[in-house]
Amino acid sequence: MSNDINRRDFLERGWKVGIVMIGAAGMWTSWDVLRPLPGSGLGGVVKTIPPSEVTDDTTVYVRTAQTYLTKIEGEIVALWQKCPHLGCRVAWCDSAGEFQCPCHGSRFNRAGEVRSGPSPRGMDRFVVTSTDEGVEVDTGQVIEGLPLGTPESIDEPVRGSGCSDA
């Protein structure tokens, strides 16, 4: 009889320990996925890469700032990844030399100016401060892109087919 009780107690405790361990494992893995990234947080200043890594022939994606960095006429520009049409993430297509939105096909030149598609304006920008340690992107200060129909300020025609054409 006392063996039955001990076995029952043992099983009951075993279940409790198992449930606690499963809960702890779930919290651990959830935290690993959901925790805020250091220096991230849209709405604040995000320190990114050194200015020397930003070039004037392509873009660099910085996930923590949801931003593409590029250099236009010697000045570093931060373009928000969010498409002004309906908010999809615009992708840089290096073979075509332009941004392409995968949702409805809007296209933007390297300066983020809209070339075609349903987007009503160019890609929005963030205010940028360049220091020796890194480019700081102020994601709390959004500068709206120029409206559709504004002439492009850079002379960079599409390089070729690519990305969403494939």
Interface mask (CB under 6 A) for ligand FES, residues 110-129, using x and -? -------xxx----------
Beta strand spans in 7-159 (E): 45-47, 60-62, 67-72, 75-80, 91-93, 98-100, 107-108, 114-116, 125-130, 135-143
Q: Among residues 13 and 104, whose Cβ is nearest to ligand FES?
A: 104
Length of the chain: 166
| Cα 81 to Cα 26, 36, 65, 84, 139, distances in angstroms | 31, 19, 9, 9, 11
Q: Can you tell me the distance from the alpha carbon of 154 to that of 90, in angstroms, rounded to the nearest whole number?
A: 19
How far is Cα of residue 83 from the mean position of the Cα atoms in its chain?
12
Q: How far is the CB of 102 from ligand FES (least distance, A)?
A: 8
CB of 29 to ligand FES, least distance (A): 32
Give me the amino acid identity at 71.
K
Task: Note whether 104 binds ligand FES by CB under 6 A.
Answer: yes
Work out how close the CB of 54 gets to ligand FES at its nearest, in angstroms, rounded to a whole number: 24
Of 101 and 135, CB closest to ligand FES: 101
**Does residue 48 touch ligand FES according to CB under 6 A?**
no
- Contact, 54 vs 70, CB < 8 A? yes
Q: Is 27 in the site for ligand FES (CB under 6 A)?
A: no
Name which of 88 and 148 has its Cβ closer to ligand FES.
88
Residue placing its CB nearer to ligand FES in the complex, 41 or 118: 118
**Which residues contribute to the site for ligand FES (CB under 6 A)?**
83, 85-86, 88, 101, 103-106, 117-119
